Amino acid sequence: MPQFERIVILTGAGISAESGVATFRDKDGIWSRYSIDEVATPGAFRRNPALVHDFYNERRRQHAGVRPNPAHAALARLEREHEGEVLIVTQNIDALHEAAGSRNVIHMHGELLKALCAACGARLPWQEDLSTELACPACGRTGGLRPDVVWFGEMPYHMDRIAEALGRCDLFLSIGTSGTVYPAAGFVAEARAAGAHTVELNLEPSDGVSLFHEAIHGPAGTIVPAYVDRLLGAGAPSGAGEPSGA
Ligand code: APR
C-alpha cells in the first residue's frame, strides 16, 4: 500500500449499524418506517413540530445506549497513528466517532445531541427531549428550539471546509453509505478530480460503486479495521471483505 499524506473519510449510517443504530435505506431502515416529508424537512417541522420532535426524541433516547464498534475505533486509531492528516466527514448525527476517540470530525448533517434555536441561532448541547413548550436557554424565547440536524432542502454544514479538504486529499474513503444523498454522494468525484485514490468500504456495492478506484465489501466492523491495519502497515489484511475490483 502506498503512503498517503492527507486522508478524507466520508462515513454514513452503515458504520454505526453494528452499534445498533438503524440505517435509512436498508430493509427495515428508518425510511421504510417513516416518511421523509413528515419528519425530515423544514416544512414538516412547520406543519407538525410535535411529530418531528417525537421522531428525534426517540432517536436521542436510543442513542444513550449505543457504543462505538470496531470500525469507529479503527478510524480513531488511524487519526492517532497516521503521520499525515485524517479528517472524518460524517453524515451521521450520532456521536460515535467522538466516543471512539476521533477528534477531527465534521458533522455535515448536524448532531443529535445538539439543539438549534431558530430564533437566535444558538447551538446548544442537548441530551433531553425537545418540545415546542421549551424556552431557549440563550435568548429565552419559547417555541424556537429544533434538533440541530440538517433536513432535506437545507444546506449541509461546513461545505467550504469539506471542499477544501477534498481538493487536497490523496486518499478518499467512503464507508457505510448508500451514495444516494447529495452533496455527499458527489465527494468521490471531487476527490478523484484532485487526484486522490478512492476506496469504497460498504456492506454491498453502493449506487456509486463504479466511481471508486477500489471497493471492499463486508461489515464495517470487520473490513474497516483490516483496511486501517493495511494503511498503517501493521499487518496483512485479514482476508475478510475481498476487494471487488470495481
Ligand atoms: N457495514 C457496512 N456497511 C453497512 C452495514 C455494515 N454493517 N450495514 C449497512 N451498510 C450499508 C448499506 O449497505 C448501505 O449502503 O450502509 C449503507 C447505508 O445507507 P443509507 O441507509 O442510505 O445511509 P446513508 O448513506 O448514511 O444516508 C445518507 O440520508 O436520510 C439521509 O440524512 C440521512 O445522513 C443520511 C443520508
Q: Give me the pLDDT at residue 3, please.
A: 86
Q: Of 1, 204, 176, which is closest to residue 89 (Cα–Cα)?
A: 176
Ligand 1, atom nearest to 26 Cα:
21
Of all protein residues, whose CA lies closest to atom 28 belonging to ligand 1? 181
Look at phi and psi of residue 42 and say left if phi exceeds 0, alpha if psi is from -120 to 50, else beta.
Answer: alpha
Choose the residue to mutate in 10, 26, 32, 35 for probing ligand 1, maximizing ligand atoms within 8 Å of C-beta.
26
206 in ligand 1 pocket by Cβ < 6 Å? yes
The one-character DSSP state at 155 is P
Q: Spell out the per-residue pLDDT of the chain, length 246, in tens.
A: 778 999 999 999 999 999 999 999 998 999 999 999 999 999 999 999 999 999 999 999 999 999 999 999 999 999 999 999 999 999 999 999 999 999 999 999 999 999 999 999 999 999 999 999 999 999 999 999 999 999 999 999 999 999 999 999 999 999 999 999 999 999 999 999 999 999 999 999 999 999 999 999 999 999 999 999 999 995 444 444 445 544
At residue 235, the pLDDT reads 42
Q: Please give the distance, rounded to the nearest whole angstrom, from the Cα atom of residue 133 to the centre of ligand 1.
A: 33
Atom 23, ligand 1: which residue's CA is nearest? Answer: 13
pTM of this structure: 0.94
The C-alpha atoms of residue 173 and residue 167 are separated, in whole angstroms, by: 14
DSSP calls for 82-150: -SSEEEEEE---S-HHHHHT--SEEETTEEEEEEEETTT--EEE--S---TTPBPTTT--BS-EEEEEP
**What pLDDT shows up at residue 246?**
47
Q: Which residues are catalytic?
A: 109
Give residue 205 CA to ligand 1 midpoint distance, Å: 11
Which of ligand 1's atoms lies nearest the C-alpha of 177?
25
Pocket probe for ligand 1: among 56, 177, 182, 201, the residue whose CB has the most ligand atoms within 8 Å is 177
The residue contributing the CA closest to ligand 1 atom 26 is 12
Residue 115 near ligand 1, beta carbon < 6 Å: no
The owner of cell 470500525 is: 71
Residue 243 has what DSSP assignment? B
Predicted pLDDT at 138: 97
111 lines ligand 1 (CB under 6 A): no
- 74-78 contacts, C-beta under 8 A, 24 or more apart: 74/224, 74/225, 74/227, 74/228, 74/229, 75/9, 75/11, 75/100, 75/102, 75/224, 75/228, 76/100, 76/101, 76/102, 77/101, 77/228, 77/232, 78/7, 78/228, 78/231, 78/232
d(CA 115, CA 28): 27
Pocket test for ligand 1, best of 11, 39, 181, 216 (most atoms within 8 A of CB): 181
